[in-house]
Amino acid sequence: MQKKSKNNETLTQKIEKLLKEMENKEINHQQSKESSSLWKENDKLQRWFEKTWLKCYKASPVEKKRIRATGKEVPFKKLK
């Protein structure tokens, strides 16, 4: 009897482990979908920013790259 109960326990443990793995995979998949949509939205906003704001300011390509990479403000000289 003990062998059967041990086998049942190990089977239930294996099943629980597999269920947890499946749940983790599903969560990871959902997170990757969300992050990819955030990256797409970020790219859209970045292109809009470059088309509108950076056109009005005198900035070297290096400064533009720095803004893209860090997201920090860089002092620009406004074009007249």
| Domain-wise residue ranges, the chain | 2-78
% residues pLDDT > 70 (the chain): 56
Mean pLDDT of 38-58: 79
The residue type found at 4 is K
Q: How far apart are CA 53 and CA 23, in angstroms?
A: 44
Is pLDDT above 50 for 49?
Answer: yes
Continuous segment of H or E residues that includes residue 78: strand 77-78
**What pLDDT, on the 0 to 100 scale, is given for residue 67?**
62
DSSP reduced 3-state for 7? helix
What is the model's pTM? Answer: 0.41
- Is-contact 78 54, C-beta < 8 A? no
